[in-house]
Structure 1
Amino acid sequence: MSQSATPPQQPQQPQPVVQAQPVDGNPYAQQPGAVPPPQAPNAPYVPPVPPVPARNNIGLGLVTAVVAALVAAGVYGVVIGVTKHEIGWAAVGVGFVIGLAAGKLGGRNPVLPVVSAVLALGSVYLGQLIGEAMIGAKDLGVSFSEVFFDHFDVVQEAWKAEADPLTFVFFAIAAFAAFSGTKKASL
């Protein structure tokens, strides 16, 4: 009787286990589905990190720049009305505030520096008109709103009469500060 011998089988080699690597290539990153380790007892509570504020939103940047321009114009007008002088550093502040607001929330959109410079020009002009109206109201003994809203044409004529080359230098300073401030704030 012949017995058929079964050929000896080769022992199976264990296959290496390949773990999935994260997409970013960090082998120490937490794997999907992993549970974080429990917090140590008596450890203080650490709140989660808040989300990063929205950036690169041109609409939000423009709206914020317009609001900043109106507020800066009011402040600049009050400074002129109280001191009865135009102040160069205040014009720089007007432009910088507008540029900072547009750049921080609007991001790197190339339209924002140009719009900020235009808003700075309008803001300085409005501020100078507010200052003229405050000075005129004080001299005439009437309210600011009466002079500014009821006699706006007179306020503009007074501005034209008092405008000198330095007035236009303040326009340029504010526009430059707004343009460069937007660029720097968006980085």
Structure 2
Amino acid sequence: MTQSAPPPAQPSAQQPAEPQPQPEPQPVDATPSPAPQSADAAPYAPHSGAVPPPPAPGAPYGAAPAPAPARNNLGLGLVAAFVAAVVAGGVYGAIIGLTKHEIGWAAVGVGFLIGLAAGRLGGRNPVLPVASAVLSLGSVYIGQLVGEAVIGAKETPLSFSELFFQHFDVIQQAWKADADPLTFVFFAIAAYVAFSTARKTAL
């Protein structure tokens, strides 16, 4: 007698089904991921209204301007000094003729005007201080002769121009007679002031 195999056992309705594994929840990052930047974008772009960093200590804010070149115009300086010597000599002679005295501050003014003209217009040429001193000696000498002529014009019937231009030898003899050690001191003062002024005021 054949025996039939029993049918497979069916799961019972009461038997619970095997639980399926559930995926674990992943933590959510609250910080949004940065947007991708292009290669040309600056990695640290400044914020609006940000103050630029101060310069490093000791760093200059700008390049210093180049110093102006020293003036060196010998011809112009000599011409200016000569003109100043003529003018100063005439003024110096007029002062002597009016006061009948040689005044020290007037000799100082002669040297100062000559040195100032040479230094300001001629510049720093080393010849100019020496030339200013020499011109100041001539200016003081001419000024003293002019003073002698002015005084002589007051005491004689001859005019100033007649005495100075037609009788210049007489004016020179009168100057030699009136010259004293103080006269030559005024020469030295004028020369020193002209020399130092030309050096100090040179541009």
Give the alignment's TM-score, normalised by structure 1: 0.72
Partner of 1:151: 167
Match among 74, 78, 81 for residue 62 of structure 1 = 78
Deviations 1:105-147, CA, capped at 9 Å, x for gaps: 1111110000000000000000000000110111003210000
CA distance in 1 between partners of 2:132 and 2:189 (Å)? 13
Taking the TM superposition and a 5 Å limit, the aligned residue runs for 1:28-177 are 55-177=71-193
Deviations 1:57-79, CA, capped at 9 Å, x for gaps: 11111100000000000000000
Deviations 1:83-115, CA, capped at 9 Å, x for gaps: 000000000000000000000011111100000
Give the alignment's TM-score, normalised by structure 2: 0.66
CA distance in 1 between partners of 2:91 and 2:134 (Å)? 18
RMSD: 2.4
Deviations 1:31-63, CA, capped at 9 Å, x for gaps: xxxxxxxxxxxxxxxxxxxxx9x9321111110
Structure with the higher helix share, 1 or 2: 1
- Give 4+ residue runs of structure 1 displaced > 3 Å after superposition: 26-29
CA distance in 2 between partners of 1:87 and 1:122 (Å)? 17
Say which one has the larger Rg.
Answer: 2
Matched positions, count: 146
The percent of aligned pairs where both chains have the same amino acid is: 73
**Matched residue type, 2:163:** V
**Matched residue type, 1:103:** G
**Matched residue type, 1:110:** P
**Matched residue type, 1:177:** V
Q: Tell me, which stretches of 5 or more residues in structure 1 are unaligned?
A: 1-11, 17-25, 30-51
